[in-house]
Chain A
Amino acid sequence: MNDRHTIHRVLVALDASPHSRAALKAAAELAADLQAELLGMFIEDINLLRLAQLPCAREVAYATRGIRAVDSQRLENTLRMQAAQLEHMLATVAQGRNVPWSFRVSRGHVAKELLAAAEEGDVLVLGRVGTSVMQRTRLGSTAQTVVAMARHTVVFLEHGVELGVPVLVLFDGTEGAMRAMVTAARLTRGDERNLVVLLASDDRDTQQRLQQQASSRLAAQGRGARFCPLAPGTISLINAVKREGGKALVLAGDHALAKEKTLADLMRQVRCPVVLVR
């Protein structure tokens, strides 16, 4: 994943939620930028299909609040219809950006299927799953699994935010941070002013050391960046993203923030896509 030439596919999980549409758009942009293929996945939840076959299967509808039986056949139809709609949406978005695309429907556990489909060098783009009434302090179960298990770079977005520039990367000198910075540099659309490296330390000497380390690594690739010192702590990170008007926050996959509980909180507060680089 460290080498740009290894990225050949952007994988996006699709469902009918607005988050998923935002994810698709971002994935298409990313694929266009990286000249990669776009693979859209619609995963039919196996648990839901099983439920539909139970005699006690009933659902509480969002809109009418009425309780009604879940009909297996109707569920299958609905899923098929959703798949067709999503494929159409994918085709429209991908063709609009001239990106080669494919669409795949599978059945099983969403996260597992997604991870199973992902290969070496893929980037996963994930809209937050679910409806507006749920999930604030917690990621959806899919996202949880992906965060925990993915060996790939993952982009998390939600409805209303767009992936773009400037790109901010949290740099603390670790190898993971180094990889994150290199990936972030690829998202800047060729303009180094769009990359902001946040030097995570309140010690001036350390900051200088980190800056040297980062700039020499970027220089080796013929790139540059702006550097900003960053006091430790989530609050200062959030403020930095807001101040810079960040349109992407890149974190090392092994960073302390890149955990299921903290990540959800961070995403909610920064209101910008978060990229976990592994």
Chain B
Amino acid sequence: MTVKPLSHELLRPLCDPQQFAFETTAELEELTEILGQGRALDAVRFGIGMKRDGYNLYALGPAGIGKHTVVQQVLEKQAQQQTPADDWCYVHNFQDHQKPVALRLPAGRGATLRRDMEVLIQDLRTSIPAMLESDEYRAQVQEIDEELKGKQEQAFADIQKQAEQEEMVILNTPHGFAVAPTRAGEVLSPKEFEQLSKEERQHKEQVINRLQEQLAAFLEQIPRLHKERREKLREVERKFTMSAVGHLIDELKKKYQDLTPVTQYLDAVEGDIVENVKDFRAREEGAATPLTLAFQGAPSFTRYRVNTLVDHGGAQGAPIVYEDNPSFANLLGRVEHSAQFGALITDFTLIKAGALHRANGGYLMLDMRKVLMQPYAWEGLKRALRSQEISIESLGQMLGLLSTVSLEPEPIPLDVKVVLMGERILYYLLCAYDPDFRELFKVAADFDDRVERNPENNLLYARLIGTLARKGGLRPFDRTAVAHVIEQSARLASDAEKLSTHMQSTADLLREADYWAERAKRKAVCAADVQCAIDGQIRRADRLRERLYEEIKRGTILIDSEGEKSGQVNGLSVLQLGDFAFGQPSRITATARLGKGEVVDIEREVELGGAIHSKGVLILSNFMAARYAQNEPLSLSASLVFEQSYGMVEGDSASVAELCALLSALADAPIKQAFAVTGSVNQHGQVQAIGGVNEKIEGFYDVCKAKGPIGEQAVLIPAANVKHLMLREDVVAAAAAGQFCVYAIETIDEAISLLTGLPAGAADAHGNFPEGSVNYRVQQRLKELSRLRKEYSEGGKEGSEQRS
């Protein structure tokens, strides 16, 4: 069995520019559909259309795949067909000022109500004082005053008259009234009083007592009379205020008659104005300083204002809100405070809307990562969605840390479709650990990061390039550039048969290619510009790769690219640094000696090997036993190591290389060092697919090129990985020139045969291999080791094995 090198066409399935009928992407129509996201789109549309509780969306996929754009597009389309959401206003609660009332009005009428109320209060501030300054009002007040005074004076005059008849006078003392007996208008002196007869004195005292009692009764009734006066004044004031307020309020009530809560509010406003008409008069008297106003409370008309929390006036369709900073307060709204003389005060006008308020009746888009990073934002969002209403309270209140008097705004009913966008891992973690999550976010829109590469999709991709170029203000791309971008997209997808749908990478590439086209003063971007952009991206990221290859070239890191050696093979690994990945050849060596049938993976022994790597080594040791030592103990002690590896080794992609090194060591069959091998092996010796095949091949090519002229180097890859090949153009050119080969292998036998140049050998019915083959040599060596072990154990020499 001879394995032939892969044809260079398979190493980089090209995208033929001739398949495109256009010259540049400027001729192509806009791509309105979304490439390759059928599943996610269906999910988004379903989620939007489903009007049941809990059918919120989670758009999952890697960052940069275009989730935001896609979701936004779909939402915009849907929102345009919907009616604008209602406005929400907070107004003063005249029954309980700490619980502002929420009013719902059709879009645009919230702002109208606010203006109407401002005008109303302005009007009243002139019309009420005018009404209370009117002659009619004054006359009525005067009438009441006169009535009171008349009653008082009449009563007093009666007493005075009686006093005069009895020759008495009523005097003002510093604190009250006194009745004194007189003669000829003068108060009697004590002496004159003494000279009166006893009867006269007694009579005078009786009169004085009587008059004093009458005076006391007179004083007694004064507060009652004043109270009556106040009540009457109040009634008159009320009557006049009503006549000033009534028709204005009635006009407003008529305007808002279709909105019962608003008319109820207006009723309350009317009642409050009538009750507090003094506020409207106070201004006229003036003379208050700012300081006294601050402490005594200036007549405030704030309570008649309307806080338009959400104003959808002029909006087309339902709202779509993206909150970039989804903190607890930004999501659920907050009550602000203003400082006045060192104290923090608040009222309903300081209630501020959150994203949920603005999106109510429409759609809210949030980045899941940001939501989770903001303290309590996720909990707050869930609570709002679960209770279907937005209650505004501060974090301090929610946690019970603050108990200062604040507002408790009336909760607003919530009807919103929330679209969370985030990575897949967050979705799966939330599914596993947050029981609320599945209940509230029932629809997952899973964004695919790759799409089939076929002529139809190639054309769609060309249109996508055209659309992105147009939106980004870039030059049009000619067909060669489009073909090159498509090839690069396949490379990004790590699959020759797929295209990447990672929009951010594509858009970056287009922008950078445009930059190079501009530098070259070209009107359209061509393939060379795209290549410049790709090379530029690599150049910017490959400092470490360069250092590594340099050290290989200088012999610091030992890699052979020519000659033959037993028990030593070039393995290939991939290093991922940020967005940039590159292949690194590693020398893998194996030693074998007499032992108890164990294969020691040195990486695992020192805990530098990951679980999958260890699994690969265990598989190969069992492959050895199964193939070569079915009827006798595997009397082998082997060790495998990644030379000059000082970090973690993970993955099983080196297991073919390790097995080849071990077989080479056992068979003493030297391995060609011009070859490198990658692939994992199973217990039956079949070679299985691995990842990063392109980087691995290119890595080995680059190292060989750095060390000397390319001629006979080759890389062995699993046959299953051929479809993933999307190699660099220089590698493909070397292959076409016969200087560099890529072999696709399916079994370990093919690998060892290619590496050693010896036949692998197939077992006959008895399990014996043909003489001279690698497998025969391995089998013989294992038999010998088994025999030696038997000798040792029979001679009691077990445990004193010879050290190799």
Instruction: Give the B-binding residues of A (Cβ under 8 A).
Output: 16, 45-48, 50-51, 53-63, 65-67, 70, 75, 78-79, 82, 130-131, 133-137
Contacts and interface: CB of A to CB of B under 8 A. Distances in A.
A135 B188 CA distance: 25
Contact of B174 (A60, A79, A136): A79
A47 B213 CA distance: 21
B193 A54 contact: yes
A143 to B, nearest CB: 14
B187 interface: yes
Contacts of A137: 153
Interface in B165-180: 169, 171-180
A58 B178 CA distance: 6
B174 A58 contact: no
8 contacts: A47-B171, A50-B186, A60-B219, A62-B175, A66-B216, A133-B156, A133-B219, A135-B153
B186 A47 contact: yes
Given A47-B187, A48-B173, A59-B173, A134 B220 contact: no
Contacts of A58: 178-179, 208, 212
A48 to B, nearest CB: 5
Contacts of B175: 59, 61-63, 78
A135 B152 CA distance: 10
Contacts of A82: 174
Given A56-B201, A62-B176, 20 more contacts: A16-B174, A48-B171, A48-B173, A50-B188, A51-B178, A54-B181, A55-B193, A57-B178, A59-B176, A60-B176, A60-B177, A63-B175, A67-B212, A67-B213, A75-B174, A78-B175, A79-B174, A133-B152, A133-B219, A137-B153
B176 A136 contact: no
Contacts of B173: 48, 59, 70, 75
A54 B180 contact: yes
Contacts of A67: 212-213, 216
Which of A45, A67, A135 has most chain B Cβ within 10 Å? A67
B205 A56 contact: yes
B469 interface: no
B153 A47 contact: no
A56 B190 CA distance: 10
A65 B172 CA distance: 14
B178 A60 contact: yes
B325 interface: no
Nearest to A140: B172
A133 B215 CA distance: 12
Given A59-B176, A60-B216, A62-B219, A134 B208 contact: no
B424 interface: no
B442 interface: no
B787 interface: no
Contacts of B201: 56
Which of A53, A79, A130 has most chain B Cβ within 10 Å? A53
B189 interface: yes
B178 A70 contact: yes
B222 A133 contact: yes
Given A54-B188, A62-B219, A65-B219, A134 B174 contact: no
Contacts of B174: 16, 75, 78-79, 82
B149 A51 contact: no
B281 interface: no
Contacts of A16: 174
B204 interface: yes
A53 B152 CA distance: 30
B208 A56 contact: yes
Contacts of B205: 56
B365 to A, nearest CB: 67
A181 to B, nearest CB: 30
Interface string B678-710: 000000000000000000000000000000000
Contacts of B220: 65
Contacts of B180: 47, 50-51, 54, 57
Contacts of B181: 54, 56
A79 B219 CA distance: 23
Interface in B210-227: 212-213, 215-216, 219-220, 222
Which of B172, B179, B204, B215 has most chain A Cβ within 10 Å? B172
Which of A48, A60, A67 has most chain B Cβ within 10 Å? A60
Contact of A51 (B156, B187, B204, B216): B187
A136 B220 CA distance: 20
Contacts of B153: 134-137
B183 to A, nearest CB: 11
Interface in B293-328: none
A56 B149 contact: no
Contacts of A45: 171-172
A131 B189 CA distance: 26
A195 B288 CA distance: 31
Contacts of B172: 45, 48, 130-131
A50 B149 contact: no
A51 B188 CA distance: 7
Contacts of B213: 67
Contacts of A79: 174
A133 B160 CA distance: 13
Contacts of A136: 149, 153
Contacts of A65: 216, 219-220
A133 B225 CA distance: 11
Contacts of A48: 171-173, 178
Given A67-B216, A133-B152, A59 B190 contact: no
Closest 9 CB pairs of A and B: A51-B180, A61-B176, A59-B178, A47-B187, A50-B187, A59-B176, A60-B215, A53-B190, A59-B173
Nearest to A47: B187
A241 B149 CA distance: 24
Nearest to B207: A56
B102 to A, nearest CB: 48
B204 A59 contact: no
A67 B215 CA distance: 10
Nearest to B189: A50
Nearest to A67: B212
Interface string B211-255: 011011001101000000000000000000000000000000000
Contacts of A57: 178, 180
A63 B156 CA distance: 17
Contacts of B149: 136
A52 to B, nearest CB: 8
Which of A46, A59, A66 has most chain B Cβ within 10 Å? A59
Nearest to B179: A58
A35 B11 CA distance: 118
B155 to A, nearest CB: 9
Contacts of A59: 173, 175-178
A233 to B, nearest CB: 18
A56 B204 contact: yes
A132 to B, nearest CB: 9
A38 B285 CA distance: 32
Nearest to B170: A134
A237 B670 CA distance: 136
Interface in B126-172: 149, 152-153, 156, 169, 171-172
A106 B169 CA distance: 22
A269 B362 CA distance: 68
Nearest to B221: A65
A17 to B, nearest CB: 9
Contacts of A135: 153
Which of B156, B187, B201 has most chain A Cβ within 10 Å? B187
A187 B215 CA distance: 43
Contacts of A51: 171, 178, 180, 187
Nearest to B219: A65
Contacts of A131: 172
A60 B173 CA distance: 9
A251 to B, nearest CB: 23
A79 B177 CA distance: 15
Nearest to A131: B172
